[in-house]
Amino acid sequence: MGTHSFSFADFSWASAVGPGTTVLAEISKVSETGGPPVHDLFARDLAALSGMRRAAAGDGTNWLSGVDKSNGYPTRYVVVGDTFLTLGITPGDDATTALADGVTGAPATIGFMYLVLLTGADGDAPQITQLMSSTLTYQGDPIQAFATAEGTRDLIKVLVDKAVGFVADMFELAWEAGGTADLGVAAAAAANAADDAATAASGRTTFLGPGGATVETDVWMTTGEAIGMGLQVVAVLALLSLELLAKQMTGYVRVYNTTGEALDVSLAWLDADDRYAGPTGTEFVTLAPIGPVWTPPWIIGDRAVSYAGWMFANTDKLARVAYVLRIAPTPTFPGADVMIDIPNHSDNSLAAEIGAGEDYQGFWEANHGKNTALCATSTGTPESPYQVRIATNQVSGTSPAPADGRVGYQYQHVVVIEPVA
């Protein structure tokens, strides 16, 4: 029978959105003007996720069976109105060789899994967001029966079903984790939901292949650091049911990379009285350059835009929300700091500076309260032809939450790193 093991690994904290032409035009305009379009940018997918959260949760029975029309591989999906949540696996060019020959050393990557959200399917400009992605690896003895086109399709069908079980359970556990006034507790619960769902989905599985061939393998959802942090989609789900404090201020931020090189972004400094959900502390999230991502280009386009996001809240009605994001230097980009301050009794302020140093709290202290406009821009030099833009939906008062419309002190910020012609 041999030894066989498949693993879903390297879950990504970064998301991606396409098609690139329409996305680039939208975020460029939004970052220049600020105001309600910033809210709308967040509301498109967060409201869709809010409407999807119960339909996609449970044991996976609500997920319908589909086929990727471009390659014939099985998919599973949930539909609510004109919103689709689809999970698929695309094998790599070397998948059949690895299955035919076996893999004796380190696990070999044989494909990738993607979870995508299609919004506005009935409209003129539908959008695809890659919410979650991971590599698929194999390690073990040869599996000749599955090393054919037909066998690979049978293999992917079972693996897609396993991945759907993981995602559906994660949705269920994340929803159950909500209902707290403490953002930190909810974010931790989201991380636990991802870990628990990964554990439940892992284990021994029987694969049925062409001609009735069967093989037993281990299938693992690798509970590595990315899952332990609480995947972005899971954190959002857990936070949708927060019982907000009377004057709780909530800030969402997204950082988009519209350049041609990979950029590392992190939460560099956070006021001690605040809580957050998103990538852990100073851990960098690598944002891919504009171009192909793990979701196949015939689905998302070949110029997808990658981004990372965080959510922040104060711990009591007297505290402010204050933080600094860091975009790390590269050989052609001197790095940048972005400051956001949401005080309790005055206008919010923001700042961006290319080439800023690493005194992150000092950067906040030097800039908070100064620029209370909707936007700010910092431009590089001829040797570093980039600019960083930041924009917000509003600088004071209440507004509807982007996920479910509840009125509160809700602020959204968009950060765009872009080349200068």
Residue-wise DSSP of 7-20:
EEE---S-EEEE-H
Say what the pLDDT of residue 230 is. 46
Say what the pLDDT of residue 419 is. 92
Q: Three-class SS of residue 136?
A: strand
Say what the pLDDT of residue 366 is. 97
Helix (H), strand (E) at residue 338: strand 336-342
Angle (nearest 5°) at CA 54 between 50 and 59? 140
Say what the pLDDT of residue 237 is. 62
Say what the pLDDT of residue 226 is. 46
DSSP one-letter code for 288: P
pLDDT average per 10 residues of sequence, the chain (421 residues): 85 86 92 95 88 86 93 94 94 92 92 93 88 91 89 93 90 69 69 80 86 86 55 60 60 94 95 81 86 92 92 79 95 94 94 92 97 95 90 94 84 95 76
Buried b (16+ CB within 10 A) or exposed e, 290-324: bebbbbbeebbbebbbbbbbbbbbbbeeebbbbbb
Say what the pLDDT of residue 407 is. 85
Give the bridge partners for 78, in sequence order: 85
For residues 328 and 344, give the distance between their C-alpha atoms in angstroms, rounded to a whole number: 30
Say what the pLDDT of residue 177 is. 63
For residues 253 and 338, give the distance between their C-alpha atoms in angstroms, rounded to a whole number: 11
Residue 179 dihedral angles phi and psi, to the nearest 5°: 85, 30
Q: Among residues 123, 114, 128, which one has the least CA distance to residue 81? A: 123
Q: Look at the block and give the residue holding tokens 């590599």.
A: 135
| Exposed / middle / buried, residue 257 (Cβ in 10 Å: 0-12, 13-18, 19+) | buried
User: Rounded to two decimals, what is the model's pTM?
Assistant: 0.93
For residues 91 and 136, give the distance between their C-alpha atoms in angstroms, rounded to a whole number: 8
